[in-house]
Amino acid sequence: MDRQKLDQNRLAVARHAADLFWQNGVEKTSGDAIAAAAGLSKRTVWRYFRSKEACIEPLFRITGLRFIELLQNWPDHQSIETYLHDSLGSMLKSDQDIRDGIAVARLISRITSEPAIRSAYLMASAEAEDDLVPILARRSGRRCDDIDVRVCAASAMAAVRVIDADISIATFSQGRVFTHAEVCSRLAAAIRSVASLPVCDPVSSSDDASSHRRNPE
């Protein structure tokens, strides 16, 4: 089976697992139940995943990847506030993207009571952090292996996790409703508050700086 097909199959299982974890909790959801919901044998599910808790990791990963892909298109001349307000809504391009976003937000709302969900979320966040490094290296005109760039990426992703959790818990546990502007403002403010490099404001477009940012090593 090629990698793309395997990833698609894993993501399909993850979506079923997320629904079951939301409905019944992780502890009360069995591997058999996940396999049945996905229309697969239990043996196939265990070929895809090391444990039932790991079944939701692809869903966290794909939503994190969408956010990173959005930031990869962040223009030099825009601040984090302007870019998120203008572009965050475009991150969800299809009905399936919206369903995935809702499923992930539901899961995140349970991270304080479900350690297994927190673990899966942190695994996906660590991958997103790695992908954020070259984006911040470009905006700061530094190398990807610069420790300050890596610290900035780690801090930014930690800030995103805090806002994700705060909004998800308030939405699904307390019934609060957030506008697009509120979500963008809170995300931007959190990232700016922890950014240890000058990446949140428009960055220099001089020839030397632009060349360095385009080719961080």
Tens of pLDDT, residue by residue, the chain (217 residues): 688 898 899 999 999 999 999 999 999 999 999 999 999 999 999 999 999 999 999 999 999 999 999 999 999 999 999 999 999 989 888 999 999 999 999 999 999 999 999 999 999 999 999 999 999 999 999 999 999 999 999 999 999 999 999 999 999 999 999 999 999 999 999 999 999 999 999 998 644 444 444 454 5
- Give the closest residue to 66 by CA, choosing from 86, 48, 89, 45: 89
Compute φ and ψ for 122, nearest 5 degrees. Answer: -65, -35
Question: Model-level pTM?
Answer: 0.87
Q: Which CATH architecture has domain 59-214?
A: Orthogonal Bundle (1.10)
Q: Where does residue 68 rank: exposed (0-12), middle (13-18), buried (19+ CB within 10 A)?
A: middle
Distances (CA, A) of 170 to 53, 64, 106, 153: 24, 20, 11, 26
Gap between the Cα atoms of 86 and 78, Å rounded: 10
What secondary structure letter does DSSP report for 19?
H
Gap between the Cα atoms of 154 and 3, Å rounded: 28
Question: End-to-end alpha-carbon separation of the chain, Å?
Answer: 34
Q: Which amino acid is at 158?
A: A
Gap between the Cα atoms of 146 and 24, Å rounded: 44
Residues 121-159 as b or e (16 or more Cβ within 10 Å = b): beebbebbbebbbbbbbbbbbbbbebeebbebbbbbbeb
Class of domain 3-54: mainly alpha
**Residue with the two structure tokens 């700086």:** 209
Structural domain boundaries in the chain: 3-54, 59-214
Gap between the Cα atoms of 49 and 22, Å rounded: 19
